Amino acid sequence: MPREGPRLSVLRPVGPSGTDDIDELAERDRRGARRVGPSHVAVGVAAVVTVVLLGALAWTKLGPGSSAAEPEHATDVYTVRTGDTVASVAALHAVTPDALTAANDLAADATLTAGQRLTVPLPHPTGSLPSGLAGDDDLLALRPTFEQWADEYGVPVALLEADAWQESGWDNDAVSSDGAIGIGQLLPSTVDYINQTLLDGADLDPHDPSDNIELSAAYFDDLLTNADESWAAALAGYFEGPTAAADGEWDQATTGYVTDAMTLVADFLPAD
């Protein structure tokens, strides 16, 4: 929902005339009124200047009629790979071919070209959370934390929640055979990369649920940026590593991981 910008109070003169009041205060100072700090005039002028500067800053940042921006990575954009068809790209993203062609003003029998950029519509919301989550109050209590860190890093919360559900079922005690930790199933080397490189020397603990979700959100922010806003490519990078995923030569396991995650996204999107 659009968020209103800050409301600035209008500074009103205390007496019948703002200038008369300031003149009277100045006259008292000139008569030798003892002062320890700044004069009343100086304080009054400083207050006016402060309000004006704050108002100008708010106006510059928000502009007239501004509202809170949508997440930085809210629009899914896919770069066509060799061999892609409308049907295969739609299936990869758990959307219908009709939805994909409509979003890109393409004919139903359009031929795709490698390197072509497509806007991918969101999957249609299912209106129900995954089995195993809907009735678990302890797990549901994590949703505000997902929302907090998704908002902090500009990551779509449905994408963050869906992939974490696929990775661990939101079990922060989960540890994989290769040492991946917690809700986001983050390898120790990935945690070090996020803390030291992405977060400038932070010390987030993947064994803490909130820290693990924040680490995952920061990682998705980086993956989406480097994948030119492709949710599919970011998911592939999360699964097999950014370098391996960058060449676009995804094997069946990677393609299946991406499709499964995008299918779960529909469970976490708000119902229409």
Q: In a structure prediction context, what are the per-residue pLDDT tens digits for the chain, which is 272 residues long?
A: 333 333 333 333 334 444 444 444 444 444 444 333 444 444 444 444 443 344 444 433 333 333 345 567 899 999 999 999 999 999 999 999 999 999 999 999 999 999 999 999 999 999 999 999 999 999 999 999 999 999 999 999 999 999 999 999 999 999 999 999 999 999 999 999 999 999 999 999 999 999 999 999 999 999 999 999 999 999 999 999 988 788 788 999 999 999 999 999 999 999 87
Query: 204-228 burial, b for 16+ CB within 10 Å, e for fewer?
Result: bebeebbbbbbbbbbbbbbbbeebe
Residue with tokens 């703002």: 18
Nearest to 165 by CA among 135, 134, 197, 133: 133
pTM, two decimal places = 0.74
Alpha-carbon Rg for the chain, nearest whole angstrom, is: 27
CB 77 within 8 Å of CB 249: no
Q: To which H or E segment does residue 49 belong?
A: helix 40-62
Domains of the chain, start order: 1-68 (no CATH), 127-268 (1.10.530.10)
**Active site residues per annotation:** 167
Q: Are 166 and 265 spatial neighbours (Cβ–Cβ below 8 Å)? A: no
Return the structure tokens found at 145: 């934390």
Residue 70: what pLDDT? 58
Q: Which helix (H) or strand (E) holds 120?
A: strand 117-120
Identify the H or E element spanning 77: strand 76-79
